[in-house]
A and B are shown apart, each in its own frame.
Chain A
Amino acid sequence: MNQVSKRAKWYLTAVALVITLLHLIPYYILLTTAFKRAGDFSSKWLFPDYFSLENFTNAWEQANLSNAFMNTFVITFFAAAMLILFGSLAAYALARRQTRLNKYVYMLFVAVMVIPPLTALVPLYQLVVDVGLMNTRLVAVLNNVAAFLPLTIFLYAGFIRSTVPKELEEAAKMDGASTIGIFFRVVFPLLKPITATVLILSCVYIWNDYQFAIFFLQDSDMHTLTVALASFFGQNTSQLGLVGAAALIASLPMVFLFLFLQRFFIEGLAAGSVKG
């Protein structure tokens, strides 16, 4: 970019700071809301002059957040693990073996990416009822995996084609290694950067998923964080402090993950988008 004077740089810094402050407003309001006791109707712009975690402890118990945390964690963990295993295996075959069948299969995955998943809500719901998977964590796992697989395969295949050298695989083959052995011992370790991208994108997506969870996990024992939060809000529309505390609790794990792994989040997105 063109050089700007020192003075201009000061102005730009000031502008950037103002923008930053504006973007912080909703979090500020969330904090003041979450820390105010029930019955404290003072302005949302001011922090209370006392310190109370009342809303947090109440929300944790009343919204059954420990259970929701467990469900969300289990679903996110298994779905991400399956995505990485199935996605990288599929992408390897599709990227390395250009048979006619494989070209059609790859086209299938690319084509599926443009189908908006929610448009098939009615039959999908019926299918889940028919196979008896309603209100199971398994259905949330499988559905999230299916929804995110096409993009995962697309990212892995692009990475394998452009970055993983064939020579290593050929050398391993000479030594008599099996295809699956070559994949896990030689190829998979080289996929680390793109695996990190897939992991981050998919974990955020699955952790935050609401639109599928609300259909398939209606039983309160199966609620994930978003579903628990939505039903908690329904019961406490006038007690915003409780809802604020619950919303804060539900978001913290991903926020911490983001702050610690920020570089991977942002680079991953940029890499994924440029290849996409």
Chain B
Amino acid sequence: MDQPLSSTAQAKKAKKRRKESSLWWMYLPSVLLVLLFIVYPFLDGIRISLTNWNGFSQVYDYVGFEQYKRMFADPDTWLVVKNTLLYGIGSTVLQNIIGLGYALLLNHHLKVRTLTRTIIYLPVIISPLVMGYIWYFFFAYQGGALNDIYNWLGLDPVNALGNPDVNPYIIVFVNTFQFVGVAMIIYLAGLQSISKEYYEAANIDGASSWSKFKNITLPLLAPAITINVVINIIGGLKLFDVIVSLTNGGPGNASQSMSTFMYSLYFARQDAGYAATQGVLMAVIILVLSLAALFYLKRKEVEA
């Protein structure tokens, strides 16, 4: 502004500046906690990934990108990444399809709606570790409920949790069972925000159920789809508890996710530098996939 300010305007501006103090003391404790427990460890993890530290010794060396070379040459890395992607993407696909199906069903004003919604949502509030144990009782080789059925049918019992070809899928199934309620609730909220007028107009045009679903419901659910996909991808990629209780990552490393693999590298093998390197890879994978999904779906939302 070129014009000199009148004294009252100046006073006003000064007052405004005074009023616009940042009140920084109000968020100081929050900033300190987040810096200390999240930002600092995250950055320090990158530093440790460049060392050969064993997790307790005072002495260690910076080894440059040796741990990264080791990681990319390690066949376990690729097995674990493959599992992690299966957990992340598999659970996301299943939770969204089934969650949307449940939401469409419950969007009809059925008498059993509250009951069904409650039961489907219930596992969300139970610890994933406990949920893993509950399903362990179902799938356990000895005394599991599944083998009781096999027994009645005169079939040999199966060791589903000990079979590396099967158990990653059981983990996807249990994770889906546990969190499908979240997707369902978010889709239900989305469905209820769609105005009935669209459907009435489509009915006048004689549109089929499928075309109404494809042309009205899906596009208008786009924001709900975005939220669900991003939440589920992040949740599935960092899966930990349920694996511990169902298979403990085994047999061998067969059902290990990046989280559980990192844990065993650090605590069981004292390979802290390498564990930190795996941590960096995990952060990169989660960031890239969740942001890619977010941007892709946001663009779709605009087009829709």
To the question of whether A and B form a pair in one complex, the answer is: yes
Size of A's binding interface in residues, CB under 8 A: 95
Task: Provide the bound-state CA to CA distance between A238 and B48, in Å.
Answer: 40
Interface residues of A in 212-263 (CB under 8 A from B): 225-226, 229-230, 233, 238, 240, 243-244, 247, 250-251, 254-255, 257-259, 262
Give the size category of B's interface with A.
Answer: 35 or more
Question: With the chains together, A208 CA to B112 CA distance in Å?
Answer: 29
Cα A2 to Cα B263 in complex, Å, equals 51
Judged by DSSP, the binding face of A is helix
State whether B238 touches A108 (Cβ < 8 A): no
CA gap between A101 and B145 in the complex, in Å: 58
Q: How far is the CB of A114 from chain B (nearest CB, A)?
A: 6
Which secondary structure characterizes the binding site on chain B?
helix
Which residues of chain B in 17-33 are interfacial with respect to chain A, using CB atoms and an 8 Å cutoff?
20-24, 26-27, 29-31, 33
Q: Are B39 and A270 in contact (CB under 8 A)?
A: no
For the complex formed, measure the closest distance between the CB of B147 and the CB atoms of chain A, giving whole angstroms: 9
Q: Check if A174 is an interface residue, CB within 8 A of chain B.
A: no
- A24-B23 Cα distance, complex, nearest whole Å: 51
Q: Is the CB of B290 within 8 A of A114?
A: yes
| Contact present for A13 and B20 (CB under 8 Å) | no
Give the complex CA separation of A125 and B196 in angstroms. Answer: 53
Which of B4-12, B71-79, B162-170, B182-190 is found at the contact surface with chain A?
B182-190
Are the CB atoms of B110 and A9 closer together than 8 Å? yes
Q: Which of A44, A257, A270 contacts B148 (CB 8 A)?
A: A44
Interface string of B121-159 (1 = CB under 8 A from A): 111111111110111111010111100110100000000
* CB atoms of B238 and A116 under 8 A apart: yes
Which residue numbers of B lie inside 8 Å of A, CB to CB? 20-24, 26-27, 29-31, 33-34, 36-42, 44-45, 47-48, 55, 102, 105-108, 110-113, 115-131, 133-138, 140, 142-145, 148-149, 151, 177, 182, 185-186, 188-189, 191, 196, 199, 203, 209, 212, 223-224, 227, 231, 234, 237-238, 240-241, 244-245, 259, 262-263, 266, 272, 275-276, 279-280, 282-283, 286-287, 290-291
CB-defined A-B contacts under 8 Å, sample of 27 = A2-B199, A9-B110, A16-B116, A24-B119, A25-B145, A27-B122, A44-B137, A86-B29, A96-B23, A108-B31, A112-B34, A116-B238, A116-B283, A120-B41, A120-B44, A121-B279, A122-B266, A122-B272, A142-B33, A145-B33, A183-B26, A208-B130, A254-B126, A259-B118, A273-B227, A274-B223, A276-B227
